[in-house]
Chains A and B, each alone.
Chain A
Amino acid sequence: MFALARKLAAAGVVGLNQRNRDYIMARNPRHLYQRVDDKIATKKLALAAGIAVPELYGVVRNAHDARSFENLVEGRAGFVIKPAHGSGGKGILVITDRRRSRFIKADGALLTASDIEHHIHNVLGGIYSLGGHPDQAIIEYRVVFDTVFESVSYRGVPDIRVLVYRGVPAMAMLRLPTRASDGRANLHQGAVGAGIDLARGMTTLAVCRDHRISEHPDFGTPLTGLAIPGWDDLLILAAHCHALAPLGYLGVDIVLDAQLGPLILELNARPGLAIQIANGRGLQTILDAIDARGEPPPEPASRAALARAIFDATNAADGA
């Protein structure tokens, strides 16, 4: 156990305690949390900054309005309902299509309007929200994801998590839904995480439930060597998100829409550490290297360039 811990420390693997104290507490000022924890606020900030986000169809603020949610999605085939203050992907309902008066859920199940109303009530009651406080339900555009990942995702929407440290992308992973994760892209629910070579935009290796895998558990398709389209822009977009909420330790979730290109799904003030497993390396060396460069440059593009340089430099150092 201790030998293993020493090895991990040598590999620069950051633990939860260290993340909480050295990065979240030290780098993320409390007053900025509101901007990322409230997805409505995030959306407004992103729009103001010219960053693309899924279109907001409407917000349900109280139980009375829940009944009229259908007015908000009038004429939309698919939509997503999520809690404004949700965490860890909880409480997200994805409707892909309609069939007469029924709604089709991402997993193919048919829901009635009252089923959806009930879900909205639960969201408003706060069972999915941070701290269990009463919440609001967001209804927004359902991302029609880029077909490049069709062969490696089960139903839901694959997304890309970029960990942005002081505005500089530090690590990234592609999160692919599986049957076990019920179409959701959350690793702790059983989704696949594939580490991304930050410099080249290619997946390097993949993990599922903290264990290394080489093929998708549902399709048997290879998970390494996948190229992410538009990686250069994506990296700059991730770096740009630091401007929305200048948190030193920020998680940026990006989806690739077939038509709209990369969209910011949400920001996260407490991004998890599974990204290290997906990349097969510790965060510490990269974060230290970013710190060593002093104050990062102001333009997102130069920060993205810096990220590529640091990724290669530290990768070489780690591999040596």
Chain B
Amino acid sequence: MKRAHALLLAAVLIAGGGGLMFLKVSRLGLPLLPGQTAPVWTVEARIEFDGNSRAAIVVLDIPDAPGEFVTLDELFVARGYGLNVESAKSDRRAEWSIRRAHGKQRLYYRIELAPSDEARLTDRASHAPPAPAKPDYVEPLASAVKDTLSEVRANSANIFTFVSQLLVQLNTAAPDGNIRIIRNNLDTASEEWVGRLIHVLAGARISARLVRGLVLDDRTSEPQLLSWLEVHNGTQWEGFNPQTGQRGFPDGFLRWSVGSRALLEVSDGRNAEVRFSSSRYAQSLTRVARDRAEATHAWLNDLLLFQLPVSTQNVYRVLLMVPLGALIVALMRTVVGVPTLGTFMPILVAIAFRETQLAWGIALFVLITSVGLSLRFYLERLRLLLVPRLCAVLSLVVLLMLAISLLSVKLGFAQGFSIALFPIIILTMAIEHMSVIWEESGGGAALKEGIGSLFVATLGYLVMTEPHLNHLMFLFPEILLLLLAVFVLLGRYTGYRMTEVLRFRDIVAAEDDVRPRS
């Protein structure tokens, strides 16, 4: 009954902690290992125009839902301009304005993007826009459109295959008369061509729109703006290559703007143009995941410690490691059977080692306890009452640490300063405890416990400063639930301690030889 209960509790804790961890890894892309990097793109739009020495307003369409990316950061750089960012439904525009624009004007818009699988899935489905009214085409376009549409309609199943078919027809290498009329000698890579396609599709009452975007890849640092066709089938939008009729968007497609409204509008400026450049760099996966979580407003985001003030974060970086140290203590005491001075003294010493580094920490520990012990034995001869004697040892410990600090500065070591966190109270109690054991059970037993404590503290230190574990504990504090499960299970361990096996070995050794009977 109790056994089942404990196992169930452990299973629930493991499922909870493991599940949360899995979600964080799969949904937010938090890395399990530290030091992993993810590509981050920086895309810059540079606007240039010649000012007319009058007030100028520059309006640039900027990405809203950038396709398979999430926006990590945006930056608007324009000296002397006022900035206003307007967001409409699927439309974001940056509006810069200046009272007087002299000569060459340069404005920059910079966006940082990280690839995201989640964004790719979500932004496509949307409400069906109203079907466009059938345009009044003029001859000869009217009959060319009518003939082509009815021809394509005959061998297509749904709106998307219809659009595909139509695009293949219109882009054929050997165009007939109708198609040539529709093509009208337009460049099939141009925005005008996509506009023409939207016009033709309206004849079949199909909603379509222009999507401008950039393809980000490593080969070019100056991506060209692509015009793409997007068609709605009544439930969702789908992209089509206006030159081939192929469905979908190219890999690495950054949706810059939607709709045929001009990308850049400059009032009272000449020679306005916008140029794009892109670069990729590696960013720490942790940072990317964190920014991505913030950008997508996932509820999991609320569980990340990055929300805390940095100073609090740093406290938790240490605090979250303490249960791991406790795990070492629990294992050492219940499974291995190492004797220690007090239950948590080794952890506190291990935390102190974080400040002093291991070798110094051990040296300090040995020095302080041995000098403290000799002082304690001296004080014993003075016959002092317990509490004042403890306080005296405490003061001596502090004095000793001060002496070490001063000496180390004199010798040019910096470590002397960082022993501040050394747990003086705990050390004092340890000295007292050791001296009692010394008197009662001899120096051997006292040294055994002292060395046992130091051993566990060293192990604890090594575990608590392990960078992988630090990284894991900070990103996934739910590991504490897993630890809790381990502690529940460990609490039910009734097997031997390793030191006990050695201690009891004479019992079975005797059974092997002669069994002495009286």
| Residues of chain A whose beta carbon lies under 8 Å from any beta carbon of chain B | 1, 4-5, 7-11, 13, 15-18, 21-22, 63, 88-91, 114-115, 118, 121-122, 124-128, 180, 188-190, 197, 200, 202-205, 207, 210-212, 224-225, 273, 276-277, 280-282, 319
Task: Among B386, B498, B508, point to the contact of A127 (Cβ < 8 A).
Answer: B386
How far is B436's CA from A217's CA once the two chains are assembled, in angstroms?
25
Determine whether the beta carbon of A8 is less than 8 Å from that of B494: no
Within the complex, what minimum Cβ distance (angstroms) separates A33 from chain B? 19
How far is B432's CA from A235's CA once the two chains are assembled, in angstroms?
40
- Specify which of A15, A204, A210, A276 lies most central, judged by the most chain B CB atoms within 10 Å of its CB: A15
Within the complex, what minimum Cβ distance (angstroms) separates A228 from chain B? 12
Jot down 20 A-B pairs with beta carbons below 8 A, ordered by A.
A1-B501, A8-B496, A8-B501, A10-B508, A13-B504, A15-B494, A15-B497, A15-B504, A17-B334, A17-B497, A90-B440, A124-B386, A125-B385, A202-B518, A204-B517, A205-B516, A211-B506, A273-B500, A276-B504, A276-B507
- Specify the chain A residue showing the minimal Cβ separation from B509: A212
Determine whether the beta carbon of A121 is less than 8 Å from that of B386: yes
Within the complex, what minimum Cβ distance (angstroms) separates A27 from chain B? 14
The reply on B441 being an interface residue by CB < 8 A is yes
| Residues from chain B with Cβ under 8 Å of A4 in the complex | 501-502, 505, 508
| Residues from chain B with Cβ under 8 Å of A189 in the complex | 440-442
Determine whether the beta carbon of A8 is less than 8 Å from that of B504: yes
Within the complex, what minimum Cβ distance (angstroms) separates B338 from chain A? 13
Determine whether the beta carbon of A204 is less than 8 Å from that of B518: yes
| Residues from chain A with Cβ under 8 Å of B334 in the complex | 17
- Specify which of B494, B503, B504 lies most central, judged by the most chain A CB atoms within 10 Å of its CB: B504
| Residues from chain B with Cβ under 8 Å of A281 in the complex | 507
- Specify the chain B residue showing the minimal Cβ separation from A206: B516
How far is B496's CA from A197's CA once the two chains are assembled, in angstroms?
26
Determine whether the beta carbon of A125 is less than 8 Å from that of B440: no
How far is B510's CA from A204's CA once the two chains are assembled, in angstroms?
13
Determine whether the beta carbon of B496 is less than 8 Å from that of A126: no
| Residues from chain B with Cβ under 8 Å of A17 in the complex | 334, 493-497
Contact A11-B508, Cβ < 8 Å, known A128-B436, A200-B518, A277-B503: yes
- Specify the chain B residue showing the minimal Cβ separation from A9: B496
Contact A125-B508, Cβ < 8 Å, known A1-B501, A15-B495: no
How far is B501's CA from A281's CA once the two chains are assembled, in angstroms?
14
- Specify the chain A residue showing the minimal Cβ separation from B382: A118
Task: Among B383, B510, B516, B517, point to the contact of A114 (Cβ < 8 A).
Answer: B383
| Residues from chain B with Cβ under 8 Å of A118 in the complex | 383
The 8 closest A-B pairs by CB, nearest first: A125-B386, A18-B494, A15-B496, A118-B383, A7-B508, A202-B518, A204-B518, A280-B510
How far is B500's CA from A159's CA once the two chains are assembled, in angstroms?
25
- Specify the chain B residue showing the minimal Cβ separation from A188: B441
The reply on B492 being an interface residue by CB < 8 A is yes
Determine whether the beta carbon of A15 is less than 8 Å from that of B510: no
| Residues from chain A with Cβ under 8 Å of B517 in the complex | 204, 319
- Specify the chain A residue showing the minimal Cβ separation from B517: A204
| Residues from chain A with Cβ under 8 Å of B492 in the complex | 21
Interface size class of B (residues with CB under 8 A): 35 or more
Contact A63-B385, Cβ < 8 Å, known A4-B501, A224-B516: yes
Task: Among A13, A21, A63, A210, point to the contact of B494 (Cβ < 8 A).
Answer: A21
- As a 0/1 sequence over residues 232 to 268 of chain B, the CB contacts with chain A under 8 angstroms (1 = contact) are 0000000000000000000000000000000000000
| Residues from chain B with Cβ under 8 Å of A188 in the complex | 441, 445
- Specify the chain A residue showing the minimal Cβ separation from B432: A127
The reply on B223 being an interface residue by CB < 8 A is no
The reply on B515 being an interface residue by CB < 8 A is yes
The reply on B218 being an interface residue by CB < 8 A is no
Task: Among A88, A127, A190, A280, point to the contact of B507 (Cβ < 8 A).
Answer: A280
The reply on B308 being an interface residue by CB < 8 A is no
Contact A224-B518, Cβ < 8 Å, known A7-B508, A127-B386, A127-B436: yes
| Residues from chain B with Cβ under 8 Å of A282 in the complex | 507
- As a 0/1 sequence over residues 453 to 495 of chain B, the CB contacts with chain A under 8 angstroms (1 = contact) are 0000000000000000000000000000000000000001111
Determine whether the beta carbon of B494 is less than 8 Å from that of A11: no
| Residues from chain B with Cβ under 8 Å of A319 in the complex | 515, 517
Within the complex, what minimum Cβ distance (angstroms) separates B503 from chain A? 5
Determine whether the beta carbon of A203 is less than 8 Å from that of B495: no
The reply on B29 being an interface residue by CB < 8 A is no
How far is B445's CA from A127's CA once the two chains are assembled, in angstroms?
17
How far is B517's CA from A50's CA once the two chains are assembled, in angstroms?
36
Determine whether the beta carbon of B503 is less than 8 Å from that of A210: yes
How far is B495's CA from A154's CA once the two chains are assembled, in angstroms?
36
Determine whether the beta carbon of B337 is less than 8 Å from that of A16: yes
Within the complex, what minimum Cβ distance (angstroms) separates A192 from chain B? 14
- As a 0/1 sequence over residues 314 to 341 of chain B, the CB contacts with chain A under 8 angstroms (1 = contact) are 0000000000000000000010010000
Within the complex, what minimum Cβ distance (angstroms) separates B336 from chain A? 11
Contact A197-B436, Cβ < 8 Å, known A8-B496, A281-B507: no
How far is B88's CA from A27's CA once the two chains are assembled, in angstroms?
73
| Residues from chain A with Cβ under 8 Å of B506 in the complex | 207, 210-212, 277, 280
Within the complex, what minimum Cβ distance (angstroms) separates A55 from chain B? 26
How far is B337's CA from A190's CA once the two chains are assembled, in angstroms?
20
Task: Among B385, B440, B495, B518, point to the contact of A18 (Cβ < 8 A).
Answer: B495
Contact A15-B386, Cβ < 8 Å, known A22-B494, A200-B518, A204-B517: no
How far is B504's CA from A212's CA once the two chains are assembled, in angstroms?
11
- Specify the chain B residue showing the minimal Cβ separation from A119: B383
- Specify which of A17, A127, A200, A205 lies most central, judged by the most chain B CB atoms within 10 Å of its CB: A17
Within the complex, what minimum Cβ distance (angstroms) separates A90 from chain B? 5
How far is B507's CA from A18's CA once the two chains are assembled, in angstroms?
17
The reply on B139 being an interface residue by CB < 8 A is no
Known: A17-B495, A127-B436. 16 other contacts (CB 8 A): A5-B496, A13-B496, A15-B496, A16-B500, A18-B495, A21-B492, A88-B440, A90-B436, A124-B386, A126-B386, A207-B506, A211-B506, A225-B518, A276-B504, A280-B510, A319-B515
| Residues from chain A with Cβ under 8 Å of B515 in the complex | 280, 319
The reply on B176 being an interface residue by CB < 8 A is no
How far is B510's CA from A42's CA once the two chains are assembled, in angstroms?
38
Within the complex, what minimum Cβ distance (angstroms) separates B377 from chain A? 14
The reply on B387 being an interface residue by CB < 8 A is yes
How far is B445's CA from A115's CA once the two chains are assembled, in angstroms?
25
The reply on B136 being an interface residue by CB < 8 A is no
- Specify the chain B residue showing the minimal Cβ separation from A121: B385
Contact A197-B518, Cβ < 8 Å, known A16-B500, A188-B445, A211-B506: yes
| Residues from chain B with Cβ under 8 Å of A21 in the complex | 492, 494
Within the complex, what minimum Cβ distance (angstroms) separates B500 from chain A? 5
Within the complex, what minimum Cβ distance (angstroms) separates A64 from chain B? 12
Determine whether the beta carbon of A15 is less than 8 Å from that of B518: no
Within the complex, what minimum Cβ distance (angstroms) separates A198 from chain B? 12
How far is B495's CA from A125's CA once the two chains are assembled, in angstroms?
37
| Residues from chain A with Cβ under 8 Å of B502 in the complex | 4
| Residues from chain A with Cβ under 8 Å of B509 in the complex | 212
How far is B386's CA from A207's CA once the two chains are assembled, in angstroms?
36
